[in-house]
Structure formats: structure tokens, C-alpha cells
Amino acid sequence: LRHLGSQLCELEKLIDKMMIAEFSTYARNDLNRPLEDDCQILEEERLVSLVFGLLKQRKLNFYEIYGDEMIITAKNIIKQCVVNTVSQIEEIDTEVVVKLADQMRMMNFPQWFDLLKNIFSKFTIFLKRIKATLNTIRSVVFLVLDKNQKTTDLEDTLQKNSAKDSTVDTEVAYLTHEGMFISDAFSEGDLPPVAADTTSQRNTSPNSEPCSSDSVSEPECTTDSSSSKEQTSSSVTPGGVEMMISDDMKLTDLELVRLANNIQELLYNASDICHDRSVKFLMARAKDGFLEKLNSNEFVALSRLMEGFILDTEQICGRKSMSLRGALQSQANRFVNRFHEERKTKLSLLLDNERWKQAEVPAEFQDLVDSVSHGRISLPEKKPAATEERKPTDFLIVEGQKYATVGTVLLLIRIILEYCQCVDNIPSITTDMLTRLSDLLKYFNSRSCQLVLGAGALQVVGLKTITTKNLALSSRCLQLIVHYIPIIRAHFEARLQPKQFSMLRHFDHITKDYHDHIAEISAKLVAIMDSLFDKLLSKYEVKAPVPSACFRNICKQMAKMHEAIYDLLPEEQTQMLFLRINASYKLHLKRQLAHLNVVNDGGPLNGLVTSDVAFYTGNLQALKGLNNLDLNMAEIWEQKR
């Protein structure tokens, strides 16, 4: 008997070791089962017995064993998925390419995408299974807690009866995992001397869905009886388990609540582990810039797959894991950079090869602007077969307005719609895309200005001269883009948070820049005629015959200008332009008449000038669309004081 104490102590240690080894084996078996789409709990009665035993032995960190096993299994899930996929791809010679990561990097996008989809689906089942097991473990902890509270309540009642005082409120404060105190007041009045034990009855009714993924987060770990009831009924617990809860558990309520919270935290960790492993897998594939080189459709598919998995795990585990979301955002940023650089380079090449001649409009582009007019701001899935039979037209018709345009601008409209569509497909990149699209629109404005107004196209594409036709066409192209800016703005505004609305001012600045550019082109067209009038009228002499050679030449140049721009600009713009040209003409003529001392006195010289002016007005008003122009020719004479 002398050594009995130490022998019992050794025996207890051995039992502890055996139970921990048993729980380790259980955890391994539970987590390494084939991941078919079910979340049944493995040998539930065995699990419940194990947890009770571990609680009785005060092994309160047993859940850490399960946590360690989760990490190992998550790693193996990815490894196994890669091995299975590689074995099905003939092009990958595993004897030549030995490393698993290198084998994975040899996959094309559809193969790799299917692999990722498979990993996500396995992880989803994995998390559902973990949730079911942890819920069962927590329900056992809450059973013990429930028993503790019943014992406390019973003792309180006996004390109340003996003290003949039935108005005592017992307030118990418990510490949750967030370090907050939750006070639950038990004031259930007089309890009968022997509390009817209903826990075992309560737990014999199994819940039909032990791991339904609908419950986003577990109820907070408060410790009143009602929460215990919720927790215990959340999992199937075999009847008669009350027998296992003996009075010598010696666990305080605080210890049990902490344990329940740690188990809940383990479910959150499981979500983080799956996300972290997914990030590593993603980064391994992103090493050679593979993800940045994806086209828009591929990146959208990847983005949606990842978003779906993130939402699924949030729903199962009730926790927002940030690592995968962060990785997706950083890949999205890289994608946006490449998306923008590609399109800006394309626009630059188009502009550097643009000869600023009116382009024919293929039917597919007309269909595109028609669909935008009907409120559909996106590109068609594929080119409709019918468009190939329809002939191209000379003008783009936008909401009843005719627009003469160049090839570059037709393609620019398509590019703008690609930006808009990308924002619809990947909402997280809206602000980035807005900044990049603003940059693209500014670039088109400044580069087209350098090429046409600044005559850069003479060197770049070898035009002999920048004609009035080139200028008018450039103006109309800018007007076409200006027409679309409010539509683009509204599209982005609908997808921004109110606090981001200040970004929309980019579009206001761009609109102003475009209007300024259009005004500069108009001023240039007037200036061309102004210098012509200066040259011709400075040599004008008032003499027969009339109409004079000078006025014949002026009318010829006016007709040329009209012919160049009339089909390109709307009629009201042509009229405004010719009113400004006419004002310039009157100014130069008035200056020359003053220089020649010809006055409005009805004399012979006055008669010759009047005949020349009549020839000019007749010619100008005979031009298409200018017949009602108010030329006010009286202004050429100095007013008598």
C-alpha cells in the first residue's frame, strides 16, 4: 500500500497519454477521410466519450491536437489535387519535371482553373466536416456547463429555503474570448428541492442537419441555460450521456466558457488555414506573371471563382478571412495595370497610323452604339452573323445624329466599353478602372491634338499637309467621345460608394478639355480663312471689271472650305463657322476700303464695291445650308459721325 499513491499517479499519467493518443488518432482519421460531399461526423459516440474523458482529466488543450492536424491535412489536400490533375495531363512528363510546383506551372489556364475549382470544392467539404466535429465537441462542453449551473442553482435553492429568503438574485459574470464580461442573472424563483433533469431528454432528439452551412456564425458563448440548450441541440448527442458527467469534474464555468470559445476560434482558424494555403497555391502559379497575362474573360472567371469560395467559407465559419481576399485584390490591381497598358499601347499605335480620313462604319459598330443607346453598356458576346452581309455606311448614327469618324475612334469606343464591362464583372476594381479610363481619354485628347492641330501627323504618317477636312473630322470625332462621357460617368457612378463620388470630377475635367480642343479647331478653321483674306484683300483695288479677280478668288476659297466641312459637321455648326469667317472677311475688307479712302457715298467707286460685295453674298448664300445666313454687309463701311 505504501507505493499505491505513486502507482495510481503513474497509472493516471498513462491513461492521460492513451486518451491523448486516442484523440490524435481520431483527429487524423476524421480529417483524412475521402472528401466526398458529406459532413457526417465520424464515430460520434466515440468522440463524445473521448471529450468527456479528456475534460474529466482536465486536458483542456486537447483541441490544439485537432488544430495541428487541420494544418497538415489542408496542405495534403492541395498536394493530392495537384498530383491527381498532373497524372491526367499527357503533356507533363513527371520524370523530366520533378517538382510538383513546376508541374503545376506547366498547365494551361483551363487545366489550372479546373484544378483550383477542385481544391476549393474539397476545402469547402473539409470546412463543413470540421464545423460538424467542433460543434459536437462544443455541445459536450456545454452539457458539462449546463450540469454545473444546475448544481449551482440547486445549491442556491437549498440555501434560499434554509434562509427563508426567496428574493436573492445571483449574478454570474463570465469571460468570453474577446475579454468582455457577460452578466447573466439567474432569477428563476423557487426551484423544487430536486431539479428535474431534462438534459438527457433534450439531447435525444437529433438535429436533422448537424452541419448545415446556413448558420453563418455560432451564437456568442454566453453561459445561461438557454444558450446551452441551443448548443447541445446543435449536434446529435447520444442519450444517457448525463451518466458520464459525475460531480467530480472540478471544472469551473470560466474554464468551460474559455474552452468553448477556443473551440469556436479553431473553426475560424480552419477558415484562415484554407485561405492561406489557397494564397500559396495562387502565388506559386503567379510567379511567371501567368495571372497578369490572363485575358479579361479568364480573369473574370478566376475572380468569380475566388469570390464564391470566400463567401462560402464565410458562411460556413462565420469569419471574414482576409488573406485570399487580399491576394485577389493585389492580382486585380496587377490585372488592371496590364489591361490599361495594353489598351493605351493599342490606342497609341492606332493614332500613330491614323491618316485622319473619314472611315466607313461596319455594321457591328453601328449595332454597338445602338445597344448603348438602349442602355446596354457592354460588348456583344460574339459578332452576329447577320452583320457580315450588311454593307458599311459612311456615318455612325448616334441617337439620330450623323457622325463622320475615323477608324481609331470606332475602336476607341469599343475599348471604352471594355473598361465599363470589366467594372461590371469585377466590382472591386471600379475606382482603379475609373482612374485608368480617365487617363486613356486624356491621352486620346492630347495625342490627337498634337497630331492634327499640332501637325504631328506630317512626320508620323507622312501627310503632305493638314487640311480643313482633317481638322473638321478631328473636331467631329472629339464631339462623338464627348457624347459618351455622361453615359460612362453614370455607369461608374452607379458602381461607386457615395464617399467615392468625388472621383467623378475626372469626367468634368475631361469634358472641359475636349470642349476646349473643339473650340481650338474651330478657331483654327477661322484663322485659315482669316490669313487668306488678309493676303487677298490687302491687294484689292477698286476698279472694273466686276466681279474683281480678288472677289472671284475669295468666293472660290469659301466654296472649297464649305465643300470640305459641310458633310462632316452638323449644319448649325457649319453656319456658326461661316458667320465667324464672314465677320473676319468684313473686318479685312473694311480695313482695305478705309486704306483706299472708298466711302459709302453712292459714287462710282462705291458702286464697284457694292457690285463685288453683292457677288460675294450671292455666292455665299448659294452654298448648301447657308441661304438664310444674316451677313450684315453694311458693317464694311465706316459709320458717319
Give the three cell numbers for residue 101.
Answer: 510546383
Give the three cell numbers for residue 437.
Answer: 479610363
Q: What is the pLDDT of residue 482?
A: 98
Tell me if residue 396 falls in helix, strand or coil.
strand
332 or 357: which carries more pLDDT confidence?
Answer: 357
**pLDDT tens, 520-552?**
999 999 999 999 999 999 999 999 898 999 999
558 or 237: which carries more pLDDT confidence?
Answer: 558
**Cα–Cα separations (whole angstroms), residue 387 to 363, 368, 370, 382, 398:** 5, 11, 13, 11, 18
**Judging by beta carbons within 10 Å of its beta carbon (0-12, 13-18, 19+), is residue 148 exposed, middle or buried?**
buried
Mean pLDDT taken over the chain: 82
Q: How far apart are CA 91 and CA 100, in angstroms?
A: 14
Give the least confident one: 150-154, 493-497, 524-528.
150-154
Q: How far apart are CA 469 and CA 561, in angstroms?
A: 8
**pLDDT tens, 584-600?**
999 999 999 999 999 99
**Residue 233 clears pLDDT 80, i.e. is over it:** no
If you write DSSP's letter for every residue of 329-394 in order, what string do you get? HHHHHHHHHHHHHHHHHHHHHHHHT----PPPB-HHHHHHHHHHHTT--S--SS--GGGGTSPPBS
Cα 476 off chain centre by = 33
Q: Which helix (H) or strand (E) holds 384?
A: none
270 or 34: which carries more pLDDT confidence?
Answer: 270
Residues 6+ apart with CB under 8 A from 8: none
Q: How far apart are CA 604 and CA 602, in angstroms?
A: 7
Q: What is the pLDDT of residue 305?
A: 94
**Residue 379 clears pLDDT 60, i.e. is over it:** yes
**pLDDT tens, 167-211?**
434 333 333 333 333 333 333 333 333 333 433 333 333 333 434
Can you tell me which residue has the cell 487580399? Answer: 326
**Residue 239 clears pLDDT 80, i.e. is over it:** no
30 or 39: which carries more pLDDT confidence?
Answer: 30
Q: What is the pLDDT of residue 506?
A: 96
Phi, psi of 162 (to 5 degrees): -70, -30
Residue range 488-511: mean pLDDT, rounded: 95
Q: How far apart are CA 420 and CA 418, in angstroms?
A: 5
Q: Say whether the peptide bond before residue 110 is cis (omega within 30 degrees of 0).
A: no
If you write DSSP's letter for every residue of 257-278 in order, what string do you get? HHHHHHHHHHHHHHHHHHHHHH
Can you tell me which residue has the cell 477698286? Answer: 542
**Judging by beta carbons within 10 Å of its beta carbon (0-12, 13-18, 19+), is residue 545 exposed, middle or buried?**
exposed
Q: What is the pLDDT of residue 255?
A: 79
**For the chain, how many helices (H) and strands (E)?**
19, 4
**Residue 296 clears pLDDT 50, i.e. is over it:** yes
Model confidence pTM above 0.85:
no
Q: Which helix (H) or strand (E) holds 49?
A: helix 44-56
Residue range 251-257: mean pLDDT, rounded: 79
Cβ pair 9, 100 in contact under 8 A: no
Classify residue 222 by its DSSP letter: -
Q: How far apart are CA 260 and CA 181, in angstroms?
A: 15
Q: What is the pLDDT of residue 254?
A: 81
Residue range 147-174: mean pLDDT, rounded: 59
Amino acid making up residue 176: T
Q: What sign has the CA pseudo-torsion 469, 472, 476, 477?
A: positive
Give the three cell numbers for residue 260.
Answer: 468553448
Q: What is the pLDDT of residue 321?
A: 83
**Cα–Cα separations (whole angstroms), residue 442 to 351, 506, 513, 567:** 14, 10, 8, 27
Q: How far apart are CA 157 and CA 168, in angstroms?
A: 10
379 or 1: which carries more pLDDT confidence?
Answer: 379
459 or 254: which carries more pLDDT confidence?
Answer: 459
Give the three cell numbers for residue 122.
Answer: 474539397
Cα 572 off chain centre by = 42
